Each structure stands twice: as C-alpha cells, then as structure tokens.
Amino acid sequence: MINVSIVGASGYSGIELLKILTRHPQVHIDRLFANTSAGKSFAEVVPLFTKTLDKTLESFSIKAIKASDVVFIALPSGEALNLVPEILMSGKRVIDLGGDFRLKDTATYERYYKRPHTAEKDLREAVYGLPEWNTAKIKQAKILSNPGCYPTSVILPLAPLLKESIIEPKGIAVSSLSGVSGAGRSASVEMSFGEVNESVRAYKVGTHQHIPEIRTTLEEISGKPISFSFVPHLLPITRGIYTTIYAILKENIDEQKILAAYEKYYSQAPFVRYSASAVPEIKNVTGTNFIDIGFRINKDDNQLIILSVIDNLIKGAAGQAVQNMNLMFGFEETGGLII
C-alpha cells in the first residue's frame, strides 16, 4: 500500500486520477491540493465524490506531503517547475502530467512553451513515461514526465512502423481532433458552448507545443530523423482524440507485415488494441485507458492511412499516469485501470 497525494485535484485530470485511484487496491489517498478551493471539502467542489471520498482540499506545502510516497502534479504546464525540485529534495517521487519535463532541450521548451525552464537539474533526471516503450526506465524513475495526449495518439501507432522500416520517415501528415476537455477546466469564452458547438476548428497550426515531443520521441525510438506535419482541431465533444496519420509505405509492404510490426511490439501491451479491419471510434475508448489503432492501405498511391483513438483524460493523461505509477512501484500494470 502506498500513500498518494495530488496537486491540482479539482481539475479534469485530477478528478480522473481520483476516479481511478479510489478503486486501486494498493493506494491510499493521502492529501489533495487545489489552492483556489483550499479549505473546502472535495465533495463540495466535485459532488461526484459525495460519500465516497471524505477529504478537504488544501494549499500545497512540503510539510503536508511528509507521509506521501508519490505526488501527482495535475496542473497546467509551467506550474510544476516551481514544485518539483522541492518535492524531489524531500525524497518523494513525482509524476507530472504537464509538459515541463518532456523535452530535454531547454531552448526547444522555451520556444514552444513560451517561458524559461528553471529546473534543468531535475529535467536531466526526468523519465518520459511511455509505458509501451520505456518500461525499464519508468520502473526506476524519481521524476516521471507523463506524455501529452496528442503525442500518445500519434507515437504509439507510428513507432513500430518506423522502427521496422515499414513506412518512410519523411512527409508524414497527422491530423488530430480533440474534445474540449483537453483545454482544462478553467473557464474561457473560446471554450464556451456557444463557441464550440456545431463547429470544428484548427488551432496552433505549426506551433503546437506537442510537435517537438512527437518528433524527439519518434526519432529516439526509431533511430531515424523524421519530418511530419501536425494539425490539431477542436471538436464539439467533451472528451476523446481521433487521430488520422498519412504515411508513404516502403516497397513490398502488405497488411501482414504491418500487423506483424504491431504484434512484435504490442502483443504484451495491455492497453494497445490494433486491427486491420475495424475502424476505431472514440465511443469505444471513452472512460478507458485503451488506445485503438486501425489502418488501411491505399495501393494506388502506396500510402498507409492509420487511425487511432484515445480518451484524452485517461490514456492521454490520468490513466497513463497511473499505469506509470504501477510500474514505478512494482504493481500490476493494469492496477485500478480495468473497469
């Protein structure tokens, strides 16, 4: 049994973490932090937990986590920079759901996240938490950087195909559509019902902060330089990501070779499902930690079309974070995550 605390417990990712962790057989919820709601009962702020989680929200302090084994940080990017160094110095392990420790190059971080990186020492120690590809390092991690939601939906379908030279590493095109919960729980006009309903729009075209995360991770896994375009879109739904990827096939590649690549790397991965026939749908992964992957070959143009779906709040955030926690503490990888 481990003691777990959450910073940012009242945000979307924090709430999803608690849904999972309260049913985890080897977890005790220690402290919940949410500065703007400090002093209120958690059930008052999130009525879903009435009679199931009797905790009071607090302002974060190092003293308050003295009994915790691991601290989840479920805050917007930039906030963890102020917290992680002190938490690590206190001997606690950290799982950060934001983007502050995903990019090893601080200049790239500063370019895409528009702020200086102030925790370079801890950045060097951070482990990128993609369980299907980085298990050994995750098990030893003191500071774990949880992957972004869009990168999860892109990297997992592409990595086996690039590593096995199934597709060309140049000219990959990615189009992703996300529900509005990906923007977080804070109110804003552009995320209001009247603005997003009955519409779809692209945003941060060519400048999205997940672009370098996708690139560096795929290049590290495949050992090849890659070039790709990435266009994210906002969908008028609450949760879910639908990603479509277009890539050029190497010569003499058929369906069986593609399936063999996925089988080689994901046959033992508990949350990766792949098929040559089924077309993935968001509704089939909503509320789960699964990624569903499908594909079609366009023989006329020697092109591969890959489709993937995840729940951005689970496999794209809280679920993957718990999957990483399970590996870090030697639990079953699926602990708390199978409904």
Catalytic residues: 149
Which value, in Å, is the radius of gyration of the alpha carbons in the chain? 20
Local structure of residue 280 (DSSP, 8 states): P
Report d(CA 124, CA 134) in Å as an integer. 16
In this structure, the chain runs to a length of 339
* Euclidean distance between CA atoms 269 and 121, whole angstroms: 32
Q: What is the dihedral of CA 47, 50, 52, 54, to 10 degrees?
A: 100
Instruction: In whole angstroms, give the CA distance from residue 36 to residue 59.
Output: 8
Nearest Cα to Cα of residue 155 among 315, 10, 5, 39? 315
Yes or no: say if 69 and 3 are a contact pair by the CB < 8 Å rule: yes
Q: Please check whether residue 324 is in contact with residue 129, taking contact to mean a CB–CB distance below 8 angstroms.
A: yes
Give Cα separations from 250 to 13, 161, 220, 240, 266 (angstroms).
39, 10, 20, 31, 21
**Is residue 117 within 8 Å of residue 131, measured between CB atoms?**
no
Residues 6+ apart with CB under 8 A from 338: none
Q: Give yes or no for a contact between 324 and 131, defined as CB atoms under 8 angstroms apart.
A: yes
Sheet with 291-298: strands ordered across: 201-202, 228-234, 172-178, 241-248, 303-310, 291-298, 272-275
Structural contact between residues 212 and 129, judged by C-beta atoms closer than 8 angstroms: no
CA separation for the pair 154, 162 (Å, rounded)? 12
Contact 321, 17 (CB under 8 A): yes
β-pairing verdict for 27-33 and 57-58: parallel
